Amino acid sequence: AAMPVPVGVLRLPRGPEGHGRGFDPASPRFQALLGEDAATQAARATLRRRYLRGLAAARGRPARFRLRGGVEVDAVFGAGDVGATAFQVDALQTPLGVEGAALLRFVDVLVYSFLL
């Protein structure tokens, strides 16, 4: 039995508040790195949660995608990846035929819709 190759552990430096859990959100350094005020960050977090809930609600439902070039395709929505680069779909119906599973790049999708 071969031994697995060990993987190194990355140790991050301790934050200035001394507890090792990052920087104090009220510190000037943290605010400079953040570049936004707390209200803006809270609004962005709320919108992100709503978007992710919408993606979760779409799972397994028929969806229509309008792609660049005016092409419309129908599929069963699977998921959106965490890096916001692609949608995973099943039973993709294209003008050239049906594909069992596919990835649609976010940059190619202009609009998508599904019924709740």
**Contact residues for 25 (Cβ-Cβ < 8 A; gap 6+):** 31, 38
Residues 30 and 73 both lie in one domain: no
Residue 17 has pLDDT above 70, yes or no: no
Residues 47 and 82 both lie in one domain: no
pLDDT for the residue numbered 78: 92
Residues 48 and 64 both lie in one domain: no
pLDDT for the residue numbered 88: 92
Residues 70 and 37 both lie in one domain: no
Q: What's the rounded mean pLDDT across residues 27-39?
A: 70
Residue 98: CATH number of its domain: 2.30.30.100
Per-residue model confidence as pLDDT tens digits over 54-70: 888 889 999 999 999 88
Range of the domain at 66: 59-114
pTM of this prediction? 0.62
Tell me the β-bridge partners of 90. Answer: 76, 101
Question: Does residue 41 lie in a domain region?
Answer: yes
pLDDT for the residue numbered 42: 83
Residues 63 and 102 both lie in one domain: yes
**Contact residues for 27 (Cβ-Cβ < 8 A; gap 6+):** 16, 17
Number of domains in the chain: 2
Question: Does residue 1 lie in a domain region?
Answer: no
Which position has the higher pLDDT, 80 or 89?
Answer: 89
Residues 78 and 104 both lie in one domain: yes
Q: What's the rounded mean pLDDT across residues 26-32?
A: 69
Residues 82 and 101 both lie in one domain: yes
Question: Which H or E element spans position 42?
Answer: helix 38-58
Question: Does residue 4 lie in a domain region?
Answer: no
**Contact residues for 73 (Cβ-Cβ < 8 A; gap 6+):** 64, 65, 67, 92, 93, 94, 95, 104
Which position has the higher pLDDT, 29 or 55?
Answer: 55
